[in-house]
Structure 1
């Protein structure tokens, strides 16, 4: 995965997409609305090597 690409539902690995969709459905059953917003990669903190 390109580290400069924003992290969005479309760029998640397939198993993460399934988990996110399942969680959103579960929370909707409790009346909780889920909103997914992209995370720009340059805003993410760098990890010291």
Structure 2
């Protein structure tokens, strides 16, 4: 499922993972792009944005 659609509970998912102490990896499924490094940076930014303080 496309995680970039508004109905996908991405903030809740990432927040719950952070609250639980999860420190592993997450897999992102999506369409290939021309710049996978930028995609990974975008994912990291989202992860950090939704982590508890």
The TM tier, using the shorter chain, reads 0.3 to 0.5
Larger Rg: 1
TM-score (norm 1): 0.37
TM-score (norm 2): 0.35
